[in-house]
């Protein structure tokens, strides 16, 4: 991996695949570092001829952190209700600016941009606020954040923000495995041993739960995007699961309905995860879409 100073922030990034491959920027979600993308997920795109760019968000992995700056969620909520700018160190728009500036640092004029969960929110903002950098937009189990959309299931929300009883490796792995069950797929098998090994790899690289507190603040401090998405003029693909209890399928439907011409696929029994048994099917939806968009650019 290589560190870049972009948008005034030190960002750790990696590039996979051929130097002349079709660039695909992948943006992960809440509190996740770049290696949270599984090798299977990345390899499927590399085999299809893409140059895959992954990176650590600020406040995750090996990127810059804001140690000790703890958000006041009540104050953020009050500011949003009053129409005032919340006092936060960064918003989702800042994270979108990081993504766009990273492409510049890599010498990539434009890329296909894909984001999952919070990464999908950021990807939307890259398309809205950095249009020239975006060839296409793929949004995976994400949301417009419109206030009328249904909330997470209580158990899913509790699992997302819960903290392990300790910070040692074994306790954290067990906690993450148990928590993810609250919003896991119901129709696709999860390889527990493989998942545990992957969580352990992330833990060994950087265990930094404090960063998630500021990610949550960035989400709360960022306004809804539903109306703005009507101005998106890039090809868009939206994927969601019927069993997602964290960001319910109505959110994915709203993303697709808001973006002119967006293609929407809702997969029965898919939750808020990327189980190994589903990855090939998702590649089968995403890769042809990206290839068709790329062919249309020539």
Q: What is the CATH number of domain 2-153+209-297?
A: 3.40.50.1820
Q: Supply the pLDDT for residue 206.
A: 97
Q: Supply the pLDDT for residue 189.
A: 87
Q: Rounded to whole angstroms, how far apart are CA atoms 63 and 242?
A: 34
The answer to whether the CB of 272 falls within 8 A of the CB of 246 is yes
Q: Of 16, 13, 32, give the one whose Cα is nearest residue 24.
A: 16
Is the pLDDT at 1 greater than 80? The verdict is no
pLDDT digits (tens, 9 = 90+) for 159-205: 998 999 999 999 999 999 999 999 999 999 889 999 999 999 999 99
Give the three-state DSSP class for 255: helix
Q: Domain segments of the chain: what residues?
A: 2-153+209-297
Mean pLDDT of 44-50: 98
Give the three-state DSSP class for 94: helix
- Please list the alpha-helical segments (H only) found in the chain: 39-47, 73-82, 92-105, 118-129, 154-161, 169-180, 192-205, 210-220, 249-258, 276-297
Per-position b or e across 18-44, b if 16+ CB within 10 A of its CB = eeebbbbbbbbbbbbbbbbbbeebbeb
Tracing tokens 């500021």 back to the chain, one arrives at: 214
pLDDT digits (tens, 9 = 90+) for 120-131: 999 999 999 999
Chain centre to alpha carbon of residue 189: 22
- Name the band, by pLDDT with cuts 50, 70 and 90, for residue 45: very high
Q: Rounded to whole angstroms, how far apart are CA atoms 192 and 61?
A: 23
Q: Supply the pLDDT for residue 212.
A: 96
Q: Rounded to whole angstroms, how far apart are CA atoms 73 and 77?
A: 6
Give the three-state DSSP class for 263: strand
Mean pLDDT of 109-126: 98
Mean pLDDT of 42-71: 98
pLDDT digits (tens, 9 = 90+) for 83-108: 999 999 999 999 999 999 999 999 99
Q: Is 85 exposed, middle or buried (0-12, 13-18, 19+ CB in 10 A)?
A: exposed
């Amino acid at each position: 991996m290589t560190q870049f100073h972009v948008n005034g922030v030190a960002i750790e990034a990696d590039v996979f695949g051929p130097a002349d491959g079709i660039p695909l920027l992948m943006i992960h979600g809440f509190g996740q570092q770049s290696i949270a993308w599984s090798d299977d997920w990345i390899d499927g795109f590399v085999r299809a001829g893409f140059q895959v760019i992954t990176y650590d968000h600020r406040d995750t992995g090996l990127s810059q952190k804001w140690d000790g700056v703890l958000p006041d969620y009540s104050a953020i909520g009050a500011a949003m209700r009053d129409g005032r700018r919340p006092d936060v160190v960064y918003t989702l728009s800042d994270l979108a600016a990081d993504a766009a500036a990273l492409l510049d640092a890599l010498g990539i004029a434009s890329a296909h941009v894909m984001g999952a969960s919070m990464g999908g929110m950021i990807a939307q903002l890259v398309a809205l606020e950095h249009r020239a950098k975006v060839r296409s937009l793929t949004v995976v189990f994400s949301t417009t954040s419109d206030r009328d959309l249904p909330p997470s299931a209580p158990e899913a929300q509790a699992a997302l923000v819960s903290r392990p009883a300790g910070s040692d490796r074994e306790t954290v792995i067990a906690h993450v495995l148990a928590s993810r069950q609250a919003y896991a797929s119901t129709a696709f098998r999860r390889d527990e041993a493989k998942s545990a090994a992957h969580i352990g790899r992330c833990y060994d690289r950087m265990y930094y739960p404090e960063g998630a507190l500021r990610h949550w603040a960035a989400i709360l401090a960022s306004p809804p995007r539903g109306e703005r998405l009507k101005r998106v003029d890039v090809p868009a693909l939206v994927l969601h699961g019927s069993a997602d209890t964290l960001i319910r399928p109505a959110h994915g439907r709203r993303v697709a309905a808001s973006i002119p011409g967006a293609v929407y696929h809702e997969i029965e029994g898919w939750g808020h995860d990327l189980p190994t048994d589903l990855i090939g099917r998702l590649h089968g939806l995403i890769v042809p879409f990206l290839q068709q968009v790329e062919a249309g650019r020539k």
